[in-house]
Amino acid sequence: MARITASVYTSHVPAIGAALDAGKAGEPYWQKVFAGYEFSKRWMREQRPDVIFLVYNDHATAFSLEMIPTFAIGCAAQFDPADEGWGPRPVPTVVGHPELAAHIAQSVIQQDFDLTIVNRMDVDHGLTVPLSLMCGQPQAWPCPVIPFAVNVVQYPVPSGRRCLNLGKAIRKAVEAYDQDLNVQVWGTGGMSHQLQGPRAGLINREFDNAFLDRMIADPEGLAAMPHVDYVREAGSEGIELVMWLIARGAMSDCSRGADGGPAAGPPPTVRHRFYHVPASNTAVGHLILEESRA
């Protein structure tokens, strides 16, 4: 059976991709960001996931205001890096996993989460920057990726509670898939940042570090935090952090064995934690949580 072995959390700042693509990764400003991912790249090579379920948000790229799905699962065989106005990033095409994606879509919808199924979609920096941070600059990404786009552009975005519960449903779906696959779930976006208005440039280190602490040790409590706290404390675009709760809910300790789901597991093992200010307008946060060996 397929199993979720780890979850990864990271910011997805577009300027990080631009710096990497322009060969500026070695500059002191960017070195401080990339240094936080050296361990992660080694870890990725050791883990060799078969599939990455990548939670991110589209930034007015694939979805304009014509259609605004709250949760959209990419079921296509491949996804091209999008032209966001500067030309597409020079990164590999993202290969999907249509069979597992379709299985997860059916299972999660039957668990009362009304996903939008997307069979054609370009992917923007929200998805490709995390891949670059975790995998470097390979000729091809190391494994298939299932893009999972969350609306965090038009308010209201889904609640933290809903995101955590969705993660639990995704775990249940993956564990019922009849192939032996090593699956990772990634939650991306954040941390504190505000890109608009006179308050642009807001950073809140204290909030961010408390958020990282609670992601590790108190996901259920963190899921109760209302939207306005994200907006007030972490900036209008800091609301992206709710997406991290989807990945967190997919870890076994959140399952609790409720309504026929898998039994609750032990707390995850923290393999890596990193925090840095700034990358462009944004605080960069990063965590790797592994399923603990029973």
Taking CB under 8 A as the binding criterion, the range among 3-11, 103-111, 188-196, 217-225 that sits at the site for another protein is 188-196
Given candidates 73, 79, 237, 290, which one binds another protein under the rule CB under 8 A? Answer: 237
Given candidates 48, 198, 263, 294, which one binds another protein under the rule CB under 8 A? Answer: 198
Are 141 and 92 in contact by the 8 Å Cβ rule? The answer is yes
| CA atoms of 38 and 280, how far apart (whole Å) | 20
Contacts (CB under 8 A) with another protein, residues 91-150 = none
Our answer to whether residue 125 is catalytic in this structure is yes
Given candidates 10, 128, 184, 204, which one binds another protein under the rule CB under 8 A? Answer: 204
| CA atoms of 91 and 14, how far apart (whole Å) | 13
Least gap, CB of 207 to another protein (angstroms):
7
Contacts (CB under 8 A) with another protein, residues 25-64 = 59-61, 64
Catalytic residue among 125, 227, 272, 286: 125
Our answer to whether residue 286 is catalytic in this structure is no
Residue 254 neighbours by CB distance under 10 Å? 22
Compare residues 228 and 263 and give the one whose CB is closer to another protein. Answer: 228
Given candidates 34, 37, 207, 274, which one binds another protein under the rule CB under 8 A? Answer: 207
Taking CB under 8 A as the binding criterion, the range among 80-88, 106-114, 138-146, 215-223 that sits at the site for another protein is 80-88
Compare residues 99 and 213 and give the one whose CB is closer to another protein. Answer: 213
As a three-state string, the secondary structure of 60-73 is: CCCCCCCCCCCEEE
Spatial neighbors of 111 by CB under 8 A, at least 6 apart, are 169, 172, 173
Given candidates 159, 231, 270, 275, which one binds another protein under the rule CB under 8 A? Answer: 231
Are 149 and 58 in contact by the 8 Å Cβ rule? The answer is yes
* Angle ∠(231,235,241) on CA atoms, nearest 5: 75
Are 189 and 9 in contact by the 8 Å Cβ rule? The answer is no
For 257-261, the CB contacts below 8 A with 24+ separation are 261/168, 261/171, 261/172
Sign of the four-CA dihedral 58, 64, 65, 69: negative
Given candidates 3, 24, 214, 227, which one binds another protein under the rule CB under 8 A? Answer: 227
Using CB under 8 A as the binding rule, whether residue 23 contacts another protein is answered as: no
Binding site for another protein (CB under 8 A): 14-15, 59-61, 64-66, 83-86, 153-156, 192, 194-207, 226-228, 231-233, 235-237, 277-278, 280-281, 283
**Which residues carry out catalysis?**
125, 193
